[in-house]
């Protein structure tokens, strides 16, 4: 984080500080004498758009709003805030969110806490479903065309288990390497030794 902020102060660098941080760029006395006026770096939203596009890859839990979500929220607001129907300070906001988590078992992520300013914001959050399935997983529940087939549990070649052609592979120069820790216990890898014909 410190490296990012340090590089963001450089005028020629395109990295910008996070949206939550605010920096002012002032000219030094020597630069003012020379007529140099430094201005803030323009904001670039490409990083935020990239993170938004990859939202389904984040470690979140599925959440389906219950049918009586509004009724439960009204009870929480009345019990915590009483007659006051607004969030006037941070302790009240904390107590309301803590009660909502106890009721729904679904918490507001840290990245969205700054957007929760009113009770309507809390109501909208807990009435919004969260679906963490990837587009690839959603194909399982879709009606696909008859000429389209998706193989979800793919098969990897291994000469010890694939004995249909006596362990002979169609790709003699390619090894089957399992590099990910997630799949090392699921798939077996092997090193394919090339069988070159040698002329005497």
From the CA atom positions of the chain, what is the Rg in Å?
A: 28
Q: Does position 51 have pLDDT exceeding 80, yes or no? A: no
In sequence order, what are the residues at sequence separation of 6 or more whose Cβ sits closer than 8 angstroms to the Cβ of residue 52?
none
Q: C-alpha distances in angstroms, 159 versus 18, 29, 113, 177?
A: 51, 74, 53, 13
Q: Does position 5 have pLDDT exceeding 70, yes or no? A: no
Among 149, 146, 147, 100, which Cα is nearest to 121's? 100
Residues in a beta bridge with 130: 63
* All domains in the chain, ordered by first residue: 2-53 (no CATH), 59-151 (1.10.1200.10), 153-193 (no CATH)
Q: Give the range among 42-56, 137-151, 156-170 with minimum mean pLDDT.
A: 42-56
What DSSP letter does each residue of 135-163 carry, written as one string? HHHHGGGS---TT----SS-----TTT-T
Cα 175 from chain centroid?
Answer: 32
pLDDT digits (tens, 9 = 90+) for 92-126: 999 999 999 999 999 998 888 889 999 999 999 99
Among 165, 164, 172, 163, which Cα is nearest to 191's? 172
SS3 109: coil
Angle at Cα 105 formed by Cα 102 and Cα 110, nearest 5°? 95
pLDDT digits (tens, 9 = 90+) for 161-189: 777 787 777 777 778 888 877 777 777 88
pTM for the complete prediction? Answer: 0.50
Between 161 and 47, where is the model more confident?
161
């Amino acid at each position: 984080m410190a490296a990012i902020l340090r590089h963001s102060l450089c005028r020629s660098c395109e990295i910008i500080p996070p949206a939550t941080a605010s920096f002012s760029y002032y000219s030094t006395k020597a630069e003012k004498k020379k007529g140099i006026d430094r201005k803030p770096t323009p904001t670039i939203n490409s990083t935020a758009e990239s993170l938004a596009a990859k939202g389904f890859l984040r470690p979140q839990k599925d959440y389906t709003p219950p049918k009586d979500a509004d009724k439960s929220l009204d009870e929480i607001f009345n019990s915590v805030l009483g007659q006051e129907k607004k969030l006037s300070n941070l302790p009240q906001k904390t107590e309301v969110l803590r009660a909502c988590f106890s009721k729904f078992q679904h918490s507001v992520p840290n990245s969205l806490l700054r957007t929760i300013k009113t009770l309507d914001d809390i109501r909208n959050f807990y009435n919004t479903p969260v679906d963490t399935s990837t587009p690839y997983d959603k194909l399982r529940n879709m009606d696909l065309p008859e000429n389209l087939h998706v193989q979800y549990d793919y098969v990897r070649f291994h000469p010890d288990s694939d004995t249909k052609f006596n362990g002979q592979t169609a790709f003699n120069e390619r090894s089957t390497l399992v590099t990910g820790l997630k799949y090392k216990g699921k798939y077996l890898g092997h090193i394919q030794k090339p069988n070159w014909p040698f002329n005497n």
